[in-house]
Structure 1
Amino acid sequence: MIKWLGIRWSFHPLFVLVMIASLATGFFSELLTLFLIVLVHEAGHVITARAFGWTVREVKLLPFGGVVEVDDASGLPAGQEALVAIAGPLQNLWMGLAAWGCGQLGWWDAEWAEYVWKANMMIGLFNLLPIYPLDGGKLLQAAFSYGFNYFAMMKWTARISIALSAMMIVFSLLIAFRPNGGIQLNLLAIGIFLLLTNWTYYRNIPYLFVRFLMHRDRVAARAAARGAYARPLFVSGKQPIGSVMRMLWREQYHLVYVMDPGGQGARVVPEERLIDRYLTERDPHRAVMELI
């Protein structure tokens, strides 16, 4: 692990295995090229994230890209998340076009130029697969933020990512049954990594959701700064407070209308009051009316 520009940069064990395999088979120049491509790809994420004022803590490099860890990611706007995600594949686009152009102009050996632009296209397109934490998965998550509440967004992102990761594993094994085929070990390893990552993500959703609630004050501050309308939520007084919390949307500030059991009236409660009660209440199944 090294520290550069105030950010920790580290190699994921999967990248280390690829490095060892490349060195053992004599593909040192290809390994160095892959490393530089991945580094520029991640630099695109980091530069864009810092332009938005994000605090980037660590970058973990993988054979197909990397994972940028930022502070309080759950409280960041979905639009910014999408732009940071797409910034990586855009680096592969210009690098691939530049390599292709160098080959066409005769500045590079044609075979080497072809390798570089194909490697860039492969890494860029692979990262656009809608599997978390790939860039495509983050774009999917950002898109879901406009169609689902935050809890449902996390669940659907994880479910789709798990399904597609499993399909990747199956595909890597089925290739072995083709004529002159063999198991695609690289694809298999990446598929297993993504499957385990998303399975862990799915199991940690309750804890990630609590972190999301702890940073809801930022949403309120942004809404107040731009004079945005509050989004009303109508709930029954008998509804468990845990289910009410799961109705919160990522970038919307809510006023919660708690209806009386008889439906004769409602109490208007700002979301931060309910969030505070939820975080301090030991029983998430208690009715909202009991807590206010």
Structure 2
Amino acid sequence: MIKWRGTTYRFHPLLTLVFIGAALTGYFLEAVTLFAIVFVHELGHLAAASGFGWRIREVQLLPFGGVLIVDELGSVSTREELVVALAGPLQHVWMILTAMLFQWLGVGEREWWNYFIEANIMIGLFNLLPVMPLDGGKVMQCLIGYVLSYHNTILYTTWISMSLSVGIICTAVFQFVNGRLPLNLLVIGVFLLVSNWYAYRQLPYHFFRFLMARGQRVSQLLRKGTLAQPIIVTSRRTMAETLKLFMREKYHLIYVVNEKGRIQAILPEQQLVSGYLDGKKPGSAVSDLFM
């Protein structure tokens, strides 16, 4: 663990194993090159997040990328998350162009620059896979969030990520059966599967954090002016079920109707969120807020 300019950088055990293996097999320079590429990639995320004023707790460095641990879980705009997610892969573009320029100028060894370019392409494309917590997974989550409720967004992206992680593991096993030893692919697949299984177990906590920060996001939406997205429910529907219909980039008015379809009440979303967070039981009906 290293602390630099107020940010903690934590090395994942996988990265340590990669360095040890590289040192034992004579590929230490290649490992250092990969680490440098990953570090620059993560600095791109860090610069974008800092530019938006995000509170960054630490940066976890992995052999194939990194993870920014921030406090802005579901509380910032989707646009900001998209920019931060894409800021990492974009670093590979200028690194590749710089390497090509140095090759053209004849600076350094051509073979090393070829390796540098290939490593950038490999890391950049891998991070764009639609698997959480990779950058592609975050982009996928942001885009799905424009059409689905936030609860369903984090649920579906977790399931998609776990399914694709299993696919990576199966690919590694298939290669092993055919006489290859894809240890790196297998380790990455297992890591992604475990990470997403843990994320799946943490979904209630993740969603609760979203509700806790909802007031801040609603203030941002109302400050700039926004169209209200109606949610129509019966008075018997629970608050917990209704909150799961909330979309991240929409402001909601909740129309409570009776069995005949007549409107009994119109509730601003703040009233529902506050009622739920102020101690109402998850199974309490929406009607408890106005009856």
Equivalence for 2:275? 277
Q: 1:229 Cα deviation (Å)? A: 2.1
- Spell out, residue by residue over 1:221-262, the C-alpha distance to the aligned partner (whole angstroms, 9 max, x if none): 111210212222111111111110100011212111111343
Contact residue 73 and residue 206 of structure 2 kept, 8 A: no
Equivalence for 2:286? 288
Q: 1:95 Cα deviation (Å)? A: 0.7
For residues 28-177 of structure 1, the aligned pairs below 5 Å read: 28-177=28-177
Q: 1:54 Cα deviation (Å)? A: 1.3
Instruction: Classify the secondary structure of the residue corresponding to 2:198.
Output: helix
Instruction: Classify the secondary structure of the residue corresponding to 1:189.
Output: helix
Q: Which moved more, 1:97-106 or 1:198-207?
A: 97-106
Q: 1:83 Cα deviation (Å)? A: 1.0
- Spell out, residue by residue over 1:34-74, the C-alpha distance to the aligned partner (whole angstroms, 9 max, x if none): 11111100000010111122121110000001001111221
Q: 1:115 Cα deviation (Å)? A: 0.5
Equivalence for 2:5? 5
Q: 1:118 Cα deviation (Å)? A: 0.4
Amino acid in structure 2 at the alignment position of 1:118: E
Contact residue 219 and residue 252 of structure 1 kept, 8 A: no
Contact residue 255 and residue 263 of structure 2 kept, 8 A: no
Equivalence for 1:262? 260
Equivalence for 1:203? 201
Amino acid in structure 2 at the alignment position of 1:153: T
Amino acid in structure 2 at the alignment position of 1:23: A
Contact residue 7 and residue 56 of structure 1 kept, 8 A: yes
Please give the alpha-carbon distance, in whole angstroms, between the structure 1 residues aligned to 2:181 and 2:146: 39
Contact residue 219 and residue 253 of structure 1 kept, 8 A: no
Amino acid in structure 1 at the alignment position of 2:62: L
Instruction: Classify the secondary structure of the residue corresponding to 1:68.
Output: strand
Instruction: Classify the secondary structure of the residue corresponding to 2:74.
Output: helix
Equivalence for 2:240? 242
Q: 1:77 Cα deviation (Å)? A: 0.9
Q: 1:103 Cα deviation (Å)? A: 2.1
- Spell out, residue by residue over 1:157-200, the C-alpha distance to the aligned partner (whole angstroms, 9 max, x if none): 0011000000000101111233xx32210110010000000011
Scaled by the length of structure 2, what TM-score is found?
0.96
Q: 1:101 Cα deviation (Å)? A: 2.8
Scaled by the length of structure 1, what TM-score is found?
0.96
Contact residue 239 and residue 287 of structure 1 kept, 8 A: yes
Amino acid in structure 2 at the alignment position of 1:175: Q
Instruction: Please list every run of 5 or more consecutive structure 1 residues that lacks an aligned counterpart in the other structure.
Output: none
Quote the sequence identity (%): 44
Instruction: Classify the secondary structure of the residue corresponding to 1:202.
Output: helix
Amino acid in structure 2 at the alignment position of 1:100: M
Instruction: Please list every run of 5 or more consecutive structure 2 residues that lacks an aligned counterpart in the other structure.
Output: none
Amino acid in structure 2 at the alignment position of 1:43: L
Q: 1:92 Cα deviation (Å)? A: 1.2
Contact residue 96 and residue 117 of structure 1 kept, 8 A: yes
Contact residue 150 and residue 247 of structure 1 kept, 8 A: yes
Please give the alpha-carbon distance, in whole angstroms, between the structure 2 residues aligned to 1:219 and 1:261: 33
Q: 1:282 Cα deviation (Å)? A: 5.3
Equivalence for 2:216? 218
Q: 1:105 Cα deviation (Å)? A: 2.9
Instruction: Classify the secondary structure of the residue corresponding to 1:73.
Output: coil
Q: Which runs of 4+ in 1 moved over 6 A?
A: none
Please give the alpha-carbon distance, in whole angstroms, between the structure 1 residues aligned to 2:98 and 2:27: 23
Please give the alpha-carbon distance, in whole angstroms, between the structure 2 residues aligned to 1:265 and 1:164: 44
Aligned CA RMSD, in angstroms, stands at 1.3
Equivalence for 2:182? 184
Please give the alpha-carbon distance, in whole angstroms, between the structure 2 residues aligned to 1:65 and 1:5: 20
